[in-house]
Amino acid sequence: MTVPATLWQPGMRITDARLNAKDYQADVVLVSFTSQTSHTQAVVFPEPFPVVPIMNAEIASGSGVTGRFEARPINVTTTGFTLFVLLTDTAEGADTWSNQPVHWTARMPTT
C-alpha cells in the first residue's frame, strides 16, 4: 500500500502510481511482553507520509488478559509511531502477552 510521495502540485505528471495511491495505511502488530502493566513498541510505516497522519490503534481480542488493556498510538511522525499498550486497572496487577494482535490505521488529514 502506498501513499502519495508529495501532495498534488502544478506541473505534476499523472502516473498509474499516483492515480492508484491511497491516503491511508493499516497493519497488525504482534505484541509480546512479560509481567508488565504497560508496554511500548516502535512501528515504522511501510511508506512514509508527506505529513503527520491521523492514527488509531485497537487490540484485536477482548478475551483473557487483553480485555483489561487499551492501545493507542503516541509520538506519531511521518515515518512511524510508538504503540502504547496499558492496563486500564492497575489494581489487577501485571500481565503477560504473547503475540497478541493490535491493529492500527493511519490516514492523511483532510484539509
Cβ 15 vs Cβ 45: under 8 Å? no
Share of the chain above pLDDT 90, in %: 59
The pLDDT mean for the chain works out to 87
The x, y and z cell numbers of residue 111, run together, are 484539509
pLDDT at 1 over 70: no
Place 111 in a pLDDT band, splitting at 50, 70 and 90.
Answer: low
pTM value > 0.85: no
What span, in angstroms and rounded, lies between the C-alpha atoms of 58 and 103?
5
Spell out the CATH class of 23-107: mainly beta
In the chain, where the domains are located: 23-107
The model's pLDDT over 8-59, given as tens digits with 9 standing for 90+, comes to 667 777 777 666 666 889 999 999 999 999 999 999 999 899 899 999 999 9
